[in-house]
Amino acid sequence: MPGPHRIAYLVSAYPATSHVFILREVLGLRARGFVVHTISINADARQPTSLSKQERDEQSQTIVIKNWPRLQMIRDVFSVCSQYRCACWVALIQSWKLAKPGLRGHALALAYWLEAVLVTRSLHTQQIKHLHVHFGNEAAMVGVLCKSICHCQLSYTIHGPDEFYEVRTQQLSAKVAAADLIICISQFARSQLMLISRVSEWAKIQVIRLGINTGYALAGSSSAHTPPTLLCVGRLTPAKGQRVLLQAMQRLGELGLRPRLLLAGAGEDEAQLRNMVLALKLSDQVQFLGALNSEAVRSLYLDADIFVLPSFAEGIPVVLMEAMASGLPCISSQITGIPELIEHGQSGLLVSAGDATGLCMAIKALIDNPQYAQELARKAKMQVVQTYNLERNLDQLARSFGAIHQEPDHA
């Protein structure tokens, strides 16, 4: 009788504030009988005291490649090279051929090969033959090399859109070719992989959406605030479009509306955003909350009136699903996979990315017409519960992984 499906999850950074959905996925698979071993390329730099219990547990159990003891690393590299011999050299040549141009690109290729050797060692130690990688970035390249070494089964979850902007330098076609299974979180993401792959490879590219616990839908948002409270949750980076939101706030002021804005998140754009708040004279309206854990963010959904996510680049953001399920009317950008989550004028409002005036008018429309806002929120909650139910989508993911488990060993 076959044992439980043993799988290793490889992520560039795990656990991470912006990747709570991966933690939920890992826990959900374990609850379904999977043995999930987590490997992170980079260490989680957060202090354990700032984490939830689940995050602390994952942080302590996760193997961190860059924290590998140096003497142990040397021994393990020799062990893997001795065990797999020719395959290690084939993977090294492959890493060189797939490297980005230039000296730095080839230096990184060697680093990816070394990381792949160490991941191989971890798989061997844990007796795992299936490696799953979240995102089609550098970690996916490590996965490709790892498969070349030990012939493990290889799967990815592709979110986009970053991978699609650098298809050639990210060697996305080679990553698709190496995979046994590719999970896309949206039809948009699947279409982009179909564009750069052979028709014969399309069957292994599946759409399995992310999801949230439907418990978010059990509580509605609180009564309206005066002035109205806007909420934006996300890393403070140019890609999230917070600068456009501040411009929209200025335009709302010119129309006689002065809503309050809560910005939850941290990132490299924080100083620029704070300077912009001062320049636009919005200091009495905008509050920076910093990086928050999932419990703190959930309380914010219940203390806001409108959720705004004016991103330039997204997959399908989980925070948007959570806000919709919490009963908040939502406004976001009409980009990538977001229209698969929000139907404009039915379950939320979509505006062109970068359009501060359009964003201003969308916010104004919801402030001026609370009944319309609540009708959008009601339909949004239904949409999330029906299509982005975490437990249902985890069942689908488990079935897809189970199908791989039934395939003949690659060794």
- Per-residue model confidence as pLDDT tens digits over 249-285: 999 999 999 999 999 999 999 999 999 999 999 999 9
Q: Which residues pair with 155 in a beta bridge?
A: 132, 181
Q: What is the architecture, at CATH level 2, of domain 6-211+390-405? A: 3-Layer(aba) Sandwich (3.40)
pLDDT bucket at 168, cuts 50 / 70 / 90: confident
- Per-residue model confidence as pLDDT tens digits over 330-363: 999 999 999 999 999 999 999 999 999 999 999 9
- What distance lies between CA 235 and its chain's CA centroid? 12
- Per-residue model confidence as pLDDT tens digits over 132-167: 999 999 999 999 999 999 999 999 999 989 889 887
Percent of residues, the chain, with pLDDT higher than 90:
83
pLDDT at 411 exceeding the cut of 60? no
Dig out the tokens for 33 from the structure. 């009988």
Percent of residues, the chain, with pLDDT higher than 70:
96
**Superfamily for domain range 214-387:** Glycogen Phosphorylase B; (3.40.50.2000)
pLDDT bucket at 219, cuts 50 / 70 / 90: low
CB 159 within 8 A of CB 189: yes
- Per-residue model confidence as pLDDT tens digits over 171-207: 999 999 999 999 999 999 999 999 999 999 999 999 9
CB 190 within 8 A of CB 166: no
Q: Collapsing DSSP states into helix, strand and coil, what is residue 344?
A: strand
Q: Edge-to-edge strands of the sheet including 181-184?
A: 63-64, 35-42, 6-13, 130-134, 153-158, 181-184, 205-207
- Give the N- to C-terminal CA distance of the chain in Å, as an integer: 20
Q: What is the mean pLDDT of the chain?
A: 93
- Number of Cβ within 10 Å of residue 85's Cβ equals 10
For residue 162, the number of C-alpha atoms closer than 13 Å in the C-beta half-sphere is 11
| C-alpha to C-alpha distance for 150 and 145, rounded to whole angstroms | 9
Lowest-confidence range among 75-79, 146-150, 294-298, 312-316? Answer: 294-298
pLDDT of residue 159: 94
Domain boundaries, the chain: 6-211+390-405, 214-387
For residue 169, what are the CA distances in angstroms to 163, 173, 329, 403?
9, 10, 39, 31
DSSP code string of 367-411: HH-HHHHHHHHHHHHHHHHHH-BHHHHHHHHHHHHHHHHTSPP--
| C-alpha to C-alpha distance for 329 and 308, rounded to whole angstroms | 9
| C-alpha to C-alpha distance for 254 and 322, rounded to whole angstroms | 31
pLDDT bucket at 410, cuts 50 / 70 / 90: very low
pLDDT at 236 exceeding the cut of 90? yes
Report the pLDDT averaged over residues 306-315: 96
Per the rule left: phi > 0, alpha: psi between -120 and 50, beta: everything else, 336 is left
- Per-residue model confidence as pLDDT tens digits over 32-46: 999 999 999 999 988
3-state SS string over 231-300? EEECCCCHHHCHHHHHHHHHHHHHCCCCCEEEEEECCCCHHHHHHHHHHCCCCCCEEEEECCCHHHHHHH
Please state whether the predicted TM-score (pTM) of the whole model is above 0.75.
yes
3-state SS string over 61-87? HCEEHHHCCHHHHHHHHHHHHHHHCHH
